[in-house]
Amino acid sequence: MTRHHPPPGTTGKQDTIRNDPFVRGLLTRLPAELRDSFSDEQLLGLKIALGARQWKIHPVDLRGTIPLWRWRFYYVILFGRDRRRLPRRIERMMRWTEAVFLGSLVTVATLFGLLVLYLVKSALGIDLIPGYSLGIWSWFKAEFGVGG
């Protein structure tokens, strides 16, 4: 069984990984014969691998229990912005979806703007091509009872 040795240049009392709350909790759950067999480097690796993370604060964090007969069930509802990195495939798909959505939005807004301009032009009696009409102004007048 190897004993824990503090890193060079340290006292070994206050500044080792063994004083970390996560590592202390981990060591208390291990059998006594294993506790002293880990080096500081191994303990640091365990801390990183086992994810000694703290929970972030969420805008919506609802937790509770529901008693039903002899059992109690718990529920957790968390809501907040996802800050995790997405896999490349999903990230590409999300970018493509956003591009299609924005392109569609711009197209619809442009067509609506052109329609409004056409209706204003027709209401003012401006003929760009004499004797030709798309019929939109006639339909609009009949449908909404406007114009002369």
Asked whether residue 94 falls in the same domain as residue 50, the answer is no
Tens digits of residue pLDDT in 23-50: 888 888 888 888 888 888 888 888 888 7
Looking at per-residue pLDDT, the higher value among 69 and 100 belongs to 100
pLDDT value at residue 105 = 98
CA–CA dist 17, 120 (Å, integer): 75
User: Which range marks the domain in which residue 42 is found?
Assistant: 1-54
Q: Tell whether 79 is covered by a domain.
A: no
Q: What is the pTM of this model?
A: 0.43
Burial of 34 (0-12, 13-18, 19+ CB in 10 A): exposed
What is the number of domains present in the chain? 2
Name the domain boundary from 39, 54, 69.
54
Q: Tell whether 134 is covered by a domain.
A: yes
Q: Tell whether 122 is covered by a domain.
A: yes
CA–CA dist 84, 91 (Å, integer): 11
Q: Tell whether 96 is covered by a domain.
A: yes
Q: Tell whether 103 is covered by a domain.
A: yes
